[in-house]
């Protein structure tokens, strides 16, 4: 009964003071007091972390592909913006490669590569105002090229 009341109190704590809930949950886990852990909210948080990592991978990949596409196909603007695009390419590639140290996230990136490319292609067309026929329907770059440190198309 007491354990049940503690879990209910912690569930309320999750809604009223999230940071304190984290600290209490961490303490219970470290001390092996598993019966006192607010499992429902802990599971929700773990699921949320996984989804956030997936979103980050897709977001960095999309931004990296957009910049690689405009760098390759927007010749007129490259003269003025090329250096900035290279900096952005390096930044997005760096952040993406940090995340992809996880084999699971790397495999996820590979499985979603084509779909993310389609979103990046649309964004590059919109950003550049160039004819959509200029941008290949299928990604002209391999995942390895996209991730390669100094690669530019």
- Residue 54 vs residues 42, 59, 91, 146: alpha-carbon distances, Å: 19, 9, 18, 18
Per the CB < 8 A criterion, the answer to whether 77 and 134 are in contact is: no
- pLDDT, tens only, 1-19: 455 555 566 668 888 899 9
pTM to 2 decimal places: 0.84
For tokens 């209490």, the residue is 24
Per the CB < 8 A criterion, the answer to whether 38 and 10 are in contact is: yes
Look at residue 13 in the predicted model and tell me its pLDDT.
86
Q: Average model confidence (pLDDT) for the chain?
A: 93
Rounded Cα distance between 39 and 63, Å, is 36
- Residue 65's CB is within 10 A of a number of other CB atoms, namely 24
- Res. 99: pLDDT tops 70: yes
Rounded Cα distance between 75 and 58, Å, is 26
The arithmetic mean of pLDDT across residues 100-118, rounded, is 98
Rounded Cα distance between 55 and 53, Å, is 5
Domain ranges for the chain, please list them: 1-37, 53-147
Per the CB < 8 A criterion, the answer to whether 116 and 53 are in contact is: no
Please give the DSSP secondary-structure letter assigned to residue 35: G
Per the CB < 8 A criterion, the answer to whether 149 and 89 are in contact is: no
Look at residue 12 in the predicted model and tell me its pLDDT.
83
Phi and psi (nearest 5°) for 102? Answer: -80, 120
Confidence label for 49 from pLDDT (cuts 50, 70 and 90): very high
Confidence label for 73 from pLDDT (cuts 50, 70 and 90): very high
For tokens 């999309």, the residue is 62
């Amino acid at each position: 009964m007491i354990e049940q009341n503690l879990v209910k109190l912690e569930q309320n704590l999750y809604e009223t003071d999230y940071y304190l809930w984290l600290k209490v949950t961490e303490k219970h886990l470290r001390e092996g007091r598993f019966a006192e852990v607010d499992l429902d909210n802990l599971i929700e948080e773990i699921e949320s972390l996984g989804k956030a990592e997936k979103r980050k991978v897709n977001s960095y990949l999309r931004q990296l592909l957009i910049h690689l596409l405009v760098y390759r196909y927007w010749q007129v603007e490259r003269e003025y913006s090329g250096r900035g695009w290279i900096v952005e390419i390096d930044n997005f590639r760096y952040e993406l490669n940090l995340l992809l140290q996880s084999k699971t996230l790397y495999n996820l990136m590979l499985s979603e590569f084509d779909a993310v490319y389609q979103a990046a292609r649309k964004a590059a067309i919109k950003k550049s105002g160039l004819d959509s026929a200029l941008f290949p329907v299928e990604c002209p770059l391999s995942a390895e090229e996209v991730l390669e440190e100094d690669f530019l198309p």
